[in-house]
Amino acid sequence: MFTDNFAKASLAQLPTVLELLPNLSKCLNGPNIWIKRDDCTGLALGGNKARQLEYYLGHAIAQGADTILTTGAIQSNHVRMSVAAARKLGLDVEVLLEHRVSGRKTEYYQSGNPFLIALMGAKIHYFEDGEDEDGADNKLFELADKLRKQGKKPYVIPLSENYTPYGSLGYVDCAAELLQQCKKLSFKADAIILPTGSASTHAGMLCGIRALGFDIPVLGVCIRRERKAQAQRVLNKAHQVAQMIGFKGIIDDKDIWVDDEMLAPGYGQLNQPALEAIDLLAQTEGILLDPTYTGKAMACLIDLVKTKKYTKDQNIVFLHTGGSPALFGYPEILDDDFFQH
Ligand X SMILES: Cc1ncc(COP(=O)(O)O)c(C=O)c1O
Catalytic residue annotation: 76
User: Which residues would be at the binding site for ligand X (CB under 6 A)?
Assistant: 47-48, 77-78, 195-202, 290, 293-294, 321-323
Q: Which helix (H) or strand (E) holds 20?
A: strand 18-20
Residue with Cβ nearer ligand X (60 or 241)? 241
Interior angle at CA 96, CA 330 and CA 289, nearest 5: 30
Distance, CA of 52 to CA of 55 (rounded, Å) = 6
Q: Look at residue 218 and give its three-state secondary structure.
A: strand
Could you tell me which residues come within 8 angstroms of residue 198 by beta carbon, excluding any fewer than 6 positions away?
159, 167, 224
Q: Look at residue 202 and give its three-state secondary structure.
A: helix
| Contact between residue 38 and residue 321 where contact means Cβ atoms under 8 Å apart | yes
Q: How far is the CB of 127 from ligand X (least distance, A)?
A: 16
Distance, CA of 70 to CA of 84 (rounded, Å) = 12
What's the Rg (C-alpha) of the chain? Answer: 19
Amino acid at the residue 111: S
Q: How far is the CB of 159 from ligand X (least distance, A)?
A: 9
Q: How far is the CB of 77 from ligand X (least distance, A)?
A: 3
Residue with Cβ nearer ligand X (30 or 114)? 114
Q: Which residue is nearest to ligand X (CB)?
A: 323
Q: How far is the CB of 2 from ligand X (least distance, A)?
A: 18
Longest dimension (CA), the chain: 62
Q: How far is the CB of 197 from ligand X (least distance, A)?
A: 3
| Contact between residue 134 and residue 160 where contact means Cβ atoms under 8 Å apart | yes
Residue with Cβ nearer ligand X (71 or 315)? 71
Q: Look at residue 71 and give its three-state secondary structure.
A: strand
